[in-house]
Structure 1
Amino acid sequence: MRLLIVEDERRLALSLAKGLTAEGFAVDVVHDGTEGLHRASEGAYDLIVLDIMLPGMNGYRVCGALRAAGDDVPILMLTAKDGEYDEAEGLDTGADDYLTKPFSYVVLVARVRALLRRRGRTASPVLTVGGLSVDTAARRVTVDGAEATLTTKEFAVLEQLALRAGEVVSKSEILEHVWDFAYDGDPNIVEVYISALRRKLGAKTIGTVRGAGYRLVGDRA
């Protein structure tokens, strides 16, 4: 999952980015509203963490502009303000959730995961395909009941496939959602992780659709 943090408090922004990266997310960070709107409009983000008090363009305007353009990306608003009118204004502009500073990092991660599950149109964090089970909340994968140990990046690639189980997911789509904006390495890195997943989960768990991408089928045989 790829997240965008738009926060002008640099220490906070970098701290959040570091923590969320450790949780397995690909994270991009910008520090003003104008750049945030540009990056959000150009990038394929799964969720945006958006501060309200920003230079250039405040969070309300960024959120309103995205919604006016038809972008339904989940938005979690952050603010140093406190009060029901501020919360109402944020939600009225199209934000999906609201968190007042100072906040608990654990609560922020829980809100992020809840919004991502909601966007996936499922209340359950567990995705099941055949004998494969992917628990997106606990970051746990089992195959026929036996736990499989995956690296953070392996899990992120598998999660993208599991969220669209049965569909073809292109290499570029995986890159967009699992690697951050700064990645400029070999796009064939995706093949490396697909190979690693096949070794750990079963050779036929992930099928290749030549010229199109990969499909999670959950069939190990």
Structure 2
Amino acid sequence: MKITAVIPARYDSTRFPGKPLADICGKPMIWWVYQEAKKVEDYVDVIVATDSTKIIDVCNQFGMNAMMTSSKHPMGTDRVAEVASRTDSDYYVVILGDEPILRADDEKKVVRAIQSGICADAIQLVEVMTNPVDVVNTTTIKLAINDEGYCIFLSRAPIPTPKSSLGYKYYKNTGCFAMSREALEFFVKTKRGNIELAEDIEQLRLIENYKKIFTVQADYMSMSVDTPKDLERIRDEISCRLRDEGRS
């Protein structure tokens, strides 16, 4: 079972241009994501997939493996599919380039699920929500997960609605998921369905077409960088982590 990690990184982000190269404690954001992925011994390769020569140049400077991909890809998964068409692996773990505090130990949980032979086209790393604001925030994607651990729907709305039971935990997706080669090929050749178009959640393309998404729960908090204010929080988090590692 060959597993490759791919970090899609687009330079021209609408809300935060140049985000993958934003400085965090003296290193670009993409470096932190890459270094954590390199700790996962089961990856046969870790590849930054980008459409920017600026990101390619920085990756070369810091010794990171990078691949130039088309600038026409509408989504990060399409970019990963291009990497899959040019490489030879059975599964591809997608790690978003704007989650620099995602831990290798949680990536390994995704890898172990793949290696277990679980019946799934994709595997999504999830977190239990602890902040009620996230539950009602439409930018946070919620997952409905059945008792066997499979995701049966994703939405920007709070799902499920607690009408008769208050014991349900709310889950959100993180910036780490895996797709088989076959699932990636299916994704790029299948048009967006009405539900995906309404919610603007790309994993719904699989759900709408009866594909299976298995979930594994993260042990550590992750945090995406969408704005410069988010970046400040990430800098504080990584600074604390570096101080703690210095004391150990």
**TM-score calculated relative to the size of structure 2:** 0.27
With CA pairs under 8 Å and 6+ residues apart, which has the higher RCO, 1 or 2?
Answer: 2
**TM-score calculated relative to the size of structure 1:** 0.30
